[in-house]
Amino acid sequence: MNIKKNPQLLSCILLTAIATTSHAEVKPLDHIVVVVNDDVITKNMLDNRINDFRNQLELSRLSRIEPETLKKQVLERMIRDTIQTQQAKLFGITVDDLTLNRTLERLAKSNNMSLEMFRDTIETEGLSYTRFREQTRNELIINQLQQRIVARKISVSDQEVQQHIEQNETDDSSKVSYHLRHILIATPESASPEEINTAKQKADKVYKKLINGADFKDLALKESSGRNALKGGDLGKRKANELPKIFLSAVKNLTSGEISKPFKSASGFHLLQLVNRSNDQLMVKQMHARHILIRTSDETSDDQARKTLLQAKQQIEDGANFAELASKYSEDPGSKVKGGDLGWAGPGDFVDGFENVANSLAIGQISEPFKTPFGWHILEVLEHREHDKSKSNKENQARNAIQKRKMDEEIRLWLRRIRDEAYVEFIDQDS
């Protein structure tokens, strides 16, 4: 018999089974709260998840949410997760214990803990490690499902990459990051004009509360249908070029703490709060240098190499051309053909001894002969500059940013669609 055709029967079976497990003591009876396709969410399952989230919210100072609002948000999260794990089963997606243990070990290591310390910390904070472990398994499964279902639809063309680079070279947004909070007032996939109008009115009411001083995190917990609602709507820090254009347009002129007016997308109506904006330029000091290298060997001693370089240094100071002497004497094949030119280099690009000497020189000054593991050198620093290292690997950065932006939007639409298509029946009228 299909559960969703007769959920009351399963509820009776479940109650009977629990009631007959012990005649010696009376225990509160579990019961079905929601039927989700062919699975159920019981009151005990919901209560455990609420307790876990409440502990997390208290740790993150987001504990002001009313119990009924938290219950509503957690239950909706559980419904979405159940639908996704059901789909994962259809695709045969599983996460074995070995994979799960490695993930937990990496998570512990990222917090500078052993796995045992990590487990103790979780339990000290009032969370069940067993439930945490299984929830982590479910999150890994859901992530694999999203990658399989959604990521395969995402393609990024070379033309998009080049357009992205050109755009960001113009407006410099690749260097700017936004820390945002988000509230989504969702609409169904095929929303009627009435449903859209109702959602708009709700978004306007939320906006009015916010500009009158309501806390954004609290309202996100209470009202948002977004995936990050239980985090107070926190989207974290995103590069400008990773945000949907509609989000970027809404926040680029805001100052820290300001809130955007409600705006509409295919998912519904959005409100954004700019926590802060930061410039992600990674400026490093670089030097342009050239050198002459003499290697030591059975035929060339340290003293001979040093004397040869002293003579070359004197010749340069007397007016000889550094590049010509490097081409004649240097034993560094890479720079020899370029007159000893090493190009631009930043911190860590040279071995310590070489870098220390280079940093001690004024521009145009020739060093005394010095030794590194490669041999003996004389060195001249030609110029210095401040260089934005974040420009490295532009194409990879652009492709990843486009892919992330498309993925986020596709997941939002896909989650809404599978939620609308699922059979969801609320058995407990109080839920």
- In angstroms, the Cα distances linking 124 to 2, 65, 105, 127, 129 are 41, 23, 18, 7, 10
Nearest to 229 by CA among 78, 51, 86, 44: 78
Give the 3-state secondary structure of residue 341.
strand
List, in order, residues 6 or more apart from 317 with CB less than 8 Å away.
Answer: 366
Angstrom distance (rounded) from CA 212 to CA 207:
9
Query: Which candidate, 93, 75, 82, places its Cα nearest to that of 37?
Result: 82
pLDDT at 87: 93
Give the pLDDT of residue 389: 62
C-alpha distance across the termini of the chain, in Å: 25
Same fold, 176-280 and 283-390: yes
**pLDDT at position 149, please?**
87
Which tokens in the block code for residue 124?
């000290």
Sign of CA dihedral 294, 300, 306, 308: negative
Q: Quote the pTM value.
A: 0.50
Superfamily per CATH, domain 3-148: Porin chaperone SurA, peptide-binding domain (1.10.4030.10)
pLDDT of residue 429: 57
User: What is the distance between the alpha carbons of residues 276 and 255, in angstroms, rounded to a whole number?
Assistant: 8
Which residues have CB under 8 Å from 116's CB, separation 6+? none
Alpha carbon distance 22, 30 (integer Å): 14
β-bridge partners, 383: 288
- Per-residue pLDDT 10s for the chain (431 aa) are 444 444 444 444 343 333 334 444 445 578 898 999 999 999 999 988 888 888 777 666 555 677 888 888 899 999 999 999 999 999 888 988 988 998 999 888 888 888 899 899 888 877 888 989 999 999 999 988 988 888 778 888 888 887 877 776 544 455 688 999 999 999 988 889 999 999 999 999 999 999 999 999 999 999 999 888 888 999 998 888 788 889 999 998 888 899 999 999 988 999 999 998 887 556 678 899 999 999 988 888 999 999 999 999 999 999 999 999 999 999 998 899 999 999 998 888 888 889 989 999 999 999 999 998 889 999 999 999 887 665 555 677 788 888 888 888 889 889 999 999 999 999 875 65
Distance from CA of residue 423 to its chain's centroid?
A: 32
Asked if 206 contacts 266 with a C-beta cutoff of 8 angstroms, the reply is: no
Domain 283-390: which CATH class? Answer: alpha beta
* DSSP assignment of 364-401: TPBPPPEEETTEEEEEEEEEEEEEEGGGTTHHHHHHHH
Q: What is the Cα 247 distance to its own chain's centre?
A: 17
* Alpha carbons within 13 A on the beta-carbon side of 176: 17
Query: How far apart are the C-alpha atoms of 266 and 296, rounded to whole Å?
Result: 70
- CATH number for 176-280 (one of 3.30.465.10, 3.40.50.360, 3.10.50.40, 3.30.70.120): it is 3.10.50.40
287: β partners: 345, 384
Sequence ranges of the domains in the chain: 3-148, 176-280, 283-390
Given this model, what pLDDT does residue 173 score?
Answer: 53
